A = this chain, B = another copy of it.
Amino acid sequence: MKTLWEHRYAQRTQRMAGSAIRELLKLTDKPDLISFAGGLPAPEVFPVAEIAASSARVLRDHGARALQYGPTEGYLPLRRMIARHTDRYGIQISPDNVLITSGSQQALDLIGKLFINPGDRVLVESPTYLGALQAWNAYGAEYVPVPVDDNGMVPEALEAAMRSGPKFIYVLPNFQNPSGVTLSLERRRRLVELAERYGVPIVEDDPYGQLRYEDEHLPPVVVLDDARSAARNGTYQGNVIYLSTFSKILAPGLRLAWVIAPPQVIDKLVTAKQGMDLHTAIFNQMVVHDAASGGFLDRHIVTIRRTYKERRDVMLAALAEHAPPGVTWTRPQGGLFLWMTLPAHVCSQEVFRAAVEHDVAFVPGAPFHPCGGGHNTMRLNFSYADPERIREGIARLGRVLEEAVHETPARRPRLEKVGHG
């Protein structure tokens, strides 16, 4: 039975495909399956007691104010805290540079709404974060993909892509989702130079920047961009829109993230956000502000790093033990993911089906490539499963990969039918 609504979808609705990964993840809902598929933080490190204490304190101290409508730009003390925190990295920003969003996904949607006309090209890493593609497909974005190696976007390919006139650049410099690779300092500088030379601004998405497990912190692109500019008056006025989030350092279920941008851009984002959800829940903002005060967040990040570093190391060791020859993977310095490349004749979507039968899951790499490719790649998450399950899961995966790598094309009748576009 069709209702009147179904004849009335806007053109853009045709462009909004449900996430292919979401469909795949439904297959992983089996009791004994070990999943490296999602991008979930470890529930063991959620600060449940601290959030409970902060919720109680906020309602005791602020009462009705925590439950009333709030300003679209966000709770001022939280914006101040973020400005101070960002100051640590050596750039001067003021609360006028900060907008609170309902998760970074909303920031991506806001950016699409403000900047993307149908047919506009966005320069992206290939592979790149699927949530950005999903947000921007709705606005009719097209993509200029730049391949990544172990040091992030390849500079020659980046410069060639700049010449095609992209509207903006989208980059995840730290422990990128999905590949786990980090853009080197040299390439960050190069990126900022090229952006300036070609007049193309940058969206820097940095959800995992604080989750580094070894070596030195690298300056965010926004900091390098700020250093480029001589004129400062305590407010950032550069060419980068920087995104980060409390999802990976506190809890994603609170849906709290932030945007740093020039004040003029923040103003436009605020106007757009007003029409989208009025404001982000003020209660959540007050709770996070309270929980993040007094040094707790810094201590908590140390705990998260320790937990995830162990899991990464366990996964890397298990892979070294169980992965068959011909399979390679990245060695991320932080974040939640590593990226695996199978021999060219193996299709990771086929492997996915076999893996789920053997009660282990990952995400096939093709959907992260906006312009195709990556049929033999896959993403593994190491933050969610505990070390024991990581060992067992990788052992299972090793057996599945062993099979897949050694299958001859004659034994893979279904391979040709799988599309990788």
Q: What is the CB-to-nearest-CB distance from A349 to chain B, in angstroms, rounded to a whole number?
A: 21
Task: Collect the chain B residues with CB atoms within 8 Å of residue A38's CB.
Answer: 69
Complexed CA–CA distance, A5 and B201 (Å): 6
Task: Collect the chain B residues with CB atoms within 8 Å of residue A271's CB.
Answer: 16-18
Q: What is the CB-to-nearest-CB distance from A170 to chain B, in angstroms, rounded to a whole number?
A: 13
For window 106-125 of chain A, which residues contact chain B by CB distance below 8 Å?
Answer: 106, 109, 113-117, 120
Q: Is the interface of A mostly helix, strand, loop or mixed?
A: helix
Q: Give the number of copies in the complex.
A: 2
For window 298-333 of chain A, which residues contact chain B by CB distance below 8 Å?
Answer: none
Task: Collect the chain B residues with CB atoms within 8 Å of residue A16's CB.
Answer: 268, 271-272, 275
Task: Collect the chain B residues with CB atoms within 8 Å of residue A113's CB.
Answer: 10, 12-13, 138
Number of interface residues of A (CB under 8 A): 94
Contact with B along A16-55 (1 / 0, CB 8 A): 1111001000000000000000101101101011011001
The answer on a CB contact under 8 Å between B1 and A231 is yes
The answer on a CB contact under 8 Å between A277 and B253 is no
The answer on a CB contact under 8 Å between A262 and B3 is yes
The answer on a CB contact under 8 Å between A67 and B274 is no
Q: What is the CB-to-nearest-CB distance from A412 to chain B, in angstroms, rounded to a whole number?
A: 32
Complexed CA–CA distance, A19 and B120 (Å): 28
Task: Collect the chain B residues with CB atoms within 8 Å of residue A40's CB.
Answer: 68-69
| Residue in B closest to A42 when the chains form the complex, CB atoms | B64
A278 part of interface (Cβ distance < 8 Å): yes
The answer on a CB contact under 8 Å between B59 and A55 is yes
Please pick, from B3, B114, B276, the residue contacting A135 in the complex, using a CB distance under 8 A.
B276
A200 part of interface (Cβ distance < 8 Å): yes
Contact with B along A170-211 (1 / 0, CB 8 A): 000000000000000000000000010001110000000000
The answer on a CB contact under 8 Å between B277 and A8 is no
Complexed CA–CA distance, A148 and B272 (Å): 29
For window 65-92 of chain A, which residues contact chain B by CB distance below 8 Å?
Answer: 65-70
A282 part of interface (Cβ distance < 8 Å): yes
Please pick, from B52, B116, B253, B276, the residue contacting A105 in the complex, using a CB distance under 8 A.
B276
The answer on a CB contact under 8 Å between A59 and B48 is yes
A409 part of interface (Cβ distance < 8 Å): no
The answer on a CB contact under 8 Å between A275 and B105 is yes
Task: Collect the chain B residues with CB atoms within 8 Å of residue A44's CB.
Answer: 64
Task: Collect the chain B residues with CB atoms within 8 Å of residue A59's CB.
Answer: 48-49, 51-52, 55
A-B pairs with beta carbons under 8 Å apart, 22 shown: A3-B239, A4-B239, A5-B239, A5-B261, A9-B114, A10-B113, A12-B113, A16-B272, A17-B271, A41-B68, A43-B67, A44-B64, A48-B64, A67-B253, A67-B254, A68-B251, A105-B275, A106-B276, A106-B277, A109-B277, A135-B275, A284-B284
19 further A-B contacts with Cβ under 8 Å, apart from A10-B113, A40-B69, A109-B277, are A3-B201, A8-B167, A10-B117, A13-B115, A16-B275, A18-B274, A46-B63, A52-B55, A67-B251, A67-B252, A68-B251, A69-B252, A102-B102, A105-B277, A134-B274, A253-B281, A254-B283, A276-B276, A277-B277
Task: Give 3 closest A-B pairs by Cβ, nearest first.
Answer: A43-B64, A67-B251, A4-B201
List residues of chain A with CB under 8 Å of any chain B CB: 1-6, 8-13, 16-19, 22, 38, 40-41, 43-44, 46, 48-49, 51-52, 55-56, 59-60, 63-70, 102-103, 105-106, 109, 113-117, 120, 131, 134-135, 137-139, 167-168, 195, 199-201, 231, 237-239, 241, 247, 250-255, 261-262, 264-265, 267-268, 270-272, 274-284
